[in-house]
Chain A
């Protein structure tokens, strides 16, 4: 058995000055990712093909043998959903209790482990499999709804709300955009991920915001316009293979009562003002199930669809959503950047230059602003060049919004790859925390325990690398497919090929940057 010191360290842990960090993607996997990207590029440039064929077709899952009946029942009855909501509310309350009254050790406290290591990483993973299902069982919305409606599920004839219409200037996702930026700042800059107390306070603040929105505005304005978690999930689910859809679109076309939109005596109307029969995109669907419960023809069910088909064909380009996508792609990469061992060195140097002290919040804010501004400025440039190449046929804002759609898979794939790392490497201590949620009598994590965690991640490290590499190639491939589809819709298959070039450079550049981030050793949060 020949095992050199260097090899042993490489395979378990990577050392950077002053930190324990996990090794990044090894060179072999990096080469495979690069090969995958090159092959995708060659295929697209040499063989432009219409990607509209076959995409956009739905297959209702209720027709599946065995599971279909069960899914139909699940969609029609509220009991399962209510039980799940109660469970998430119970977990949420425990998060608050543990955060406020438990140990301040983040790795021993239920609040920090469940919120940051399990929920926040898991919720993004869940979109890949079940779309926006999280929103259906979201404890913030459930608690606020119960308080306002004063009942657990049935539609309340009267409830405590001014039922105002959301002002026109707020009817965008810009509030969610700002909340997303703010949460990232709190998470990475102020470091609330390492503070159970602040984690609990943040959960309470979001609860109050949800409640205020329900008290002021009609339906669920918070979900549609303000919630950054919901909007992140909503955008990512454009790529998801599952969505709620009519079983028979013809039945919806004939329908005049629109219970899905108006609700019934018992069931709430669609919280985000959607009409199932006209639904082309699920960006604003919270999977709440109200439409499937209220439809008199039992015509709504979960359906499968080709991966990314919504982004390729159906998603309506919108200026505000385009900027949300850009925030997603830049801030997910920024997330990775702040967990590199070199980040703190850079921060210290910048802090010295600008005379920042203490927690270096100015330095962090500057770094975050730059990390957002650079990719955004590059994107604006690329959109402008494409606009010029296309002879300014479309309004600039429209082309900009169309071009932002292919960026979505880049954010999603890197987000998944990064979160997998957290889940697999930090999730190890979750069982102990579940047994002792307040961390009573627990000691800080010792170096030996930390080492144990490094040695025994939840998944084999090579499998983790394979998944990360696969995700990056998949994200790049899907981005290019979406770009191809969108450009051929704008310009036709032939001209689309040259028109795609600036965006291809952007997509490739972002993918390479994300690949570089994954290659670096990563410092864990806890």
Chain B
């Protein structure tokens, strides 16, 4: 009974709270059961004089299916929301991809202080969403990760296996060379004796 009362008390307060521990700039995920919104991926970050919250709905967007970005920007000094325009662009998030290959998603104005940007991306992969705005005469640019489709991470595994195999072969070869050199010097020593 006591527990139920505590639970009810807390449930009534929880919507006002942020969810689990998060690290600024790292994606975290949340689910609000009480609303109709699907689970979301969220990144909070600080840039210059502004604190930015970026949310992606659904948390795991799929190729060819519509998704939405919600962006909320507030001034750190007084929590005042930014009310100008935000330009959203997107590009591949790979080491080789350059900023020139960006595609524009749209330019948005705030509705209820939130900048909403829809998207449909057909190819699965890792993308970078770039949100840009100008405030108090200064340009701001924030990069956020966006994963489309289920993650496939053969890369790290392949690299590790590759490194292990190369290391084993290299040390094996070195060892053989050392052994051969040792045998040759032993042979010469015997010859000289």
Interface residues of A (CB under 8 A from B): 1, 3, 5, 8-9, 11-13, 15, 18-20, 96, 100-101, 104-105, 107, 147-148, 160-162, 189-191, 194-195, 197, 200-201, 204, 207-208, 211-212, 215-216, 339, 344, 347-348, 351-352, 355-360, 443-448, 450-452, 454-455, 523-526
- Digitize B66-87: 1 where CB-to-A-CB distance is under 8 Å, 0 elsewhere: 0000000000100000000000
Q: Once bound together, how far apart are the Cα atoms of A190 and B49, in whole Å?
A: 22
Known: A104-B147, A194-B26. A455 touches B6 (CB 8 A): yes
Q: Once bound together, how far apart are the Cα atoms of A211 and B167, in whole Å?
A: 9
A-contacting residues, B84-101, CB 8 Å: none
Residues of A with C-beta under 8 A to B14 = 20, 447-448, 451
Q: Does B27 make an interface contact (CB < 8 A)? A: yes
Residues of A with C-beta under 8 A to B163 = 208
Residues of B with C-beta under 8 A to A443 = 31, 39
A-contacting residues, B123-166, CB 8 Å: 142, 147, 151-153, 156-157, 160, 163-164
Q: Once bound together, how far apart are the Cα atoms of A101 and B151, in whole Å?
A: 6
Known: A100-B156, A104-B151. A446 touches B31 (CB 8 A): yes
Indicate if the CB atoms of B21 and A455 lie closer than 8 Å: no
Indicate if the CB atoms of A162 and B175 lie closer than 8 Å: yes
Q: Does B11 make an interface contact (CB < 8 A)? A: yes
Indicate if the CB atoms of A447 and B19 lie closer than 8 Å: yes
Closest beta carbon of chain B to A116's beta carbon, Å: 11
Indicate if the CB atoms of B47 and A358 lie closer than 8 Å: yes
Q: Once bound together, how far apart are the Cα atoms of A162 and B171, in whole Å?
A: 7
Q: Does B1 make an interface contact (CB < 8 A)? A: yes
Indicate if the CB atoms of A19 and B21 lie closer than 8 Å: yes
Q: Once bound together, how far apart are the Cα atoms of A360 and B46, in whole Å?
A: 8
Indicate if the CB atoms of A160 and B168 lie closer than 8 Å: yes
* Residue of B with least CB distance to A355: B48
Query: How many residues of chain B are within 8 Å of chain A by beta carbon?
Result: 57
Q: Once bound together, how far apart are the Cα atoms of A300 and B20, in whole Å?
A: 48
Residues of B with C-beta under 8 A to A3 = 2, 5-6
Q: List 10 A-B contacts (CB under 8 A).
A: A8-B5, A104-B27, A161-B171, A162-B178, A191-B26, A208-B167, A211-B164, A347-B24, A357-B46, A525-B20
Indicate if the CB atoms of B175 and A160 lie closer than 8 Å: yes
Give 6 A-B pairs besides A3-B2, A8-B5, A216-B171 with Cβ atoms closer than 8 angstroms. A9-B9, A13-B10, A194-B22, A204-B160, A444-B30, A455-B3
Indicate if the CB atoms of B24 and A194 lie closer than 8 Å: no
The 5 closest A-B pairs by CB, nearest first: A359-B25, A191-B23, A100-B153, A444-B29, A357-B47
Closest beta carbon of chain B to A12's beta carbon, Å: 5
Residues of A with C-beta under 8 A to B147 = 104
Q: Which residue in A96, A348, A356, A524 is a CB contact (below 8 Å) of B76?
A: A348
Indicate if the CB atoms of B157 and A96 lie closer than 8 Å: yes
Residues of A with C-beta under 8 A to B157 = 96, 100, 204
Known: A20-B20, A162-B174. A357 touches B48 (CB 8 A): yes
Residues of A with C-beta under 8 A to B28 = 194
Q: Does B111 make an interface contact (CB < 8 A)? A: no
Closest beta carbon of chain A to B187's beta carbon, Å: 21
Indicate if the CB atoms of A450 and B25 lie closer than 8 Å: no
From A201, A212, A447, name the one whose CB has the most chain B CB atoms within 10 angstroms: A447
Q: Does B32 make an interface contact (CB < 8 A)? A: yes
* Residue of A with least CB distance to B34: A447
Residues of A with C-beta under 8 A to B189 = none
Q: Does B13 make an interface contact (CB < 8 A)? A: yes
Q: Once bound together, how far apart are the Cα atoms of A315 and B14, in whole Å?
A: 51
Closest beta carbon of chain A to B72's beta carbon, Å: 14
Indicate if the CB atoms of A450 and B19 lie closer than 8 Å: yes
Closest beta carbon of chain B to A524's beta carbon, Å: 6
* Residue of A with least CB distance to B14: A447
Indicate if the CB atoms of B21 and A9 lie closer than 8 Å: no
Q: Does B33 make an interface contact (CB < 8 A)? A: yes
Known: A359-B25, A444-B31, A447-B14. A201 touches B20 (CB 8 A): no
Q: Does B122 make an interface contact (CB < 8 A)? A: no
Q: Does B17 make an interface contact (CB < 8 A)? A: yes
Q: Once bound together, how far apart are the Cα atoms of A79 and B34, in whole Å?
A: 53
Q: Once bound together, how far apart are the Cα atoms of A189 and B31, in whole Å?
A: 25
Residues of B with C-beta under 8 A to A357 = 45-48
Q: Which residue in B2, B11, B60 is a CB contact (below 8 Å) of A451?
A: B11
Indicate if the CB atoms of B18 and A19 lie closer than 8 Å: yes
Q: Once bound together, how far apart are the Cα atoms of A201 and B159, in whole Å?
A: 10
Q: Once bound together, how far apart are the Cα atoms of A323 and B46, in whole Å?
A: 35
Closest beta carbon of chain B to A508's beta carbon, Å: 31
Q: Once bound together, how far apart are the Cα atoms of A525 and B157, in whole Å?
A: 26
Residues of A with C-beta under 8 A to B10 = 8-9, 12-13, 451, 454
Q: Once bound together, how far apart are the Cα atoms of A207 and B147, in whole Å?
A: 28
Q: Which residue in A197, A200, A208, A455 is a CB contact (below 8 Å) of B7?
A: A455
Q: Does B172 make an interface contact (CB < 8 A)? A: yes
Known: A20-B20, A104-B151, A523-B21. A444 touches B9 (CB 8 A): no
From B18, B26, B174, name the one whose CB has the most chain A CB atoms within 10 angstroms: B26
Q: Once bound together, how far apart are the Cα atoms of A148 and B175, in whole Å?
A: 13
Residues of B with C-beta under 8 A to A107 = 20
Residues of B with C-beta under 8 A to A360 = 24-25, 46
Residues of A with C-beta under 8 A to B174 = 162
Closest beta carbon of chain A to B23's beta carbon, Å: 3
Closest beta carbon of chain B to A384's beta carbon, Å: 38
Known: A20-B17, A359-B24. A212 touches B6 (CB 8 A): no
Indicate if the CB atoms of A8 and B6 lie closer than 8 Å: yes
Residues of B with C-beta under 8 A to A344 = 24
Indicate if the CB atoms of B11 and A448 lie closer than 8 Å: yes
* Residue of A with least CB distance to B153: A100
Closest beta carbon of chain B to A171's beta carbon, Å: 21
Closest beta carbon of chain B to A58's beta carbon, Å: 41
Q: Does B55 make an interface contact (CB < 8 A)? A: no
Residues of B with C-beta under 8 A to A20 = 14, 17-20
* Residue of B with least CB distance to A349: B76
From A101, A358, A454, name the one whose CB has the most chain B CB atoms within 10 angstroms: A358
Q: Once bound together, how far apart are the Cα atoms of A358 and B23, in whole Å?
A: 11
Q: Which residue in A100, A200, A447 is a CB contact (below 8 Å) of B33?
A: A447
Known: A8-B6, A160-B168. A448 touches B33 (CB 8 A): yes
Closest beta carbon of chain B to A352's beta carbon, Å: 6
Closest beta carbon of chain A to B91's beta carbon, Å: 18
Closest beta carbon of chain B to A497's beta carbon, Å: 45
- Digitize B100-127: 1 where CB-to-A-CB distance is under 8 Å, 0 elsewhere: 0000000000000000000000000000
